[in-house]
Amino acid sequence: MTSVGVSRALGLVLGHLADRRLSDPRRGHPVAGFGRAAAALERRTYADSRARGVVHLTLLAGAAAGVGLALELRARRHPLAHTLLTAAATWTVLGGTSLAREASAVHDLLAADDLPGARRRLTHLVGRDTSVLDEREVSRAVVESVAENTSDAVVAPLVWGAVLGAPGLLGYRAANTLDAMIGHRGERYGRFGWASARFDDLLNLPGARLSGLLAAALAPTVGGRPSAALRAWARDARRHPSPNAGVVEAAFAGALGVRLGGRNHYAHGVEERVLLGDGPPPDRHDIDRSVRLAGAVGTGAVAVAAVLALRRGRD
């Protein structure tokens, strides 16, 4: 076992603890800065072309990973510096605590019978038209967002941090941010955003499956059964339009004993999503349960990532 493996494992754990304790900085977040840089570059690179989208993705994700690699190579000479670099990069890219905070804010508004306020706050989590949603649909949207983003914003970056260190953490977050910005289908980004959407799908394959496994294993923490989570995953996930969101949402639905999916309203129209899991649609109490399950999954993921980093350090 090398000092690189030990310092990387410690850095991942410390960065995860920092996210739990400190959440995201209110101002000057590096991911927000990256988003502004990406928008500025888009004014030069944009064309209704897949090839231009590949260039855009390569420049931005490559730059983020390159910065991480340069810092990683310098920090490896000093174990403490390497631990601190990994911790800082991990804290920068994780979003679990912010996700839980937003979900809980919607729950509290529903508990106060403030449906209009809950609809408005929900826009922080989803891109749907929330103005038409009743309390059950608001609750479903929150649970689905918690499930998907636990994979995207917690588990997947930890996996890439364990495998590649700071370059993996920063490169993953850059690609994931680009997917959020331009990866959704639409008249403007149907071609230009294609590469970002597909690359993000590829990067999230291992994280989504680990998220599903952890959600199943930890289902008893929220009164659920692992068998129900695995059954929903095996039966329903493949019918979801996303190769990754379907896995995590189905596993969460089974673990929570609720049914997710259905009709989603967007600015571009209405989509009918496959039903995931058994049981009733979620209500506001299931929001709190999903947040607790997400927290357990995040803790399990950082433990797995630390072990993986240690094992890679032994190679």
pLDDT in the model for residue 48: 93
Cα separation, 144 vs 124, in Å, equals: 13
Q: Look at residues 153, 266, 201, 156 and name the one whose alpha carbon lies nearest to residue 57.
A: 201
Residues 6 or more apart whose CB falls under 8 angstroms from that of 264 comprise 128, 270, 271, 272, 273
Our measurement of the distance from residue 198's CA atom to the centroid of its chain's CA atoms, rounded to an integer in Å, reads 15
Cα separation, 120 vs 103, in Å, equals: 12
| Amino acid identity at 66 | G
pLDDT in the model for residue 85: 97
Cα separation, 154 vs 277, in Å, equals: 23
Q: How many other C-beta atoms can be found within 10 angstroms of the C-beta atom of residue 191?
A: 15
pLDDT in the model for residue 28: 67
Cα separation, 272 vs 43, in Å, equals: 34
* Ranges of residues in the chain whose predicted pLDDT is under 50: none
pLDDT in the model for residue 127: 84
pLDDT in the model for residue 271: 80
Q: Is 76 helix (H, G, I), strand (E, B) or coil?
A: coil
| Amino acid identity at 78 | H
Q: What b-and-e string marks burial along 135-169, b requiring 16 or more CB atoms within 10 Å of the CB?
A: eebbbbbbbbbbbbbbbbbbbbbbbbbbbbbbbbb
pLDDT in the model for residue 273: 86
pLDDT in the model for residue 264: 85
The answer to whether the beta carbons of residues 90 and 14 sit under 8 Å apart is yes
Our measurement of the distance from residue 96's CA atom to the centroid of its chain's CA atoms, rounded to an integer in Å, reads 8
pLDDT in the model for residue 161: 98
Beta strands in 37-196 (DSSP E): none
Our measurement of the distance from residue 141's CA atom to the centroid of its chain's CA atoms, rounded to an integer in Å, reads 15
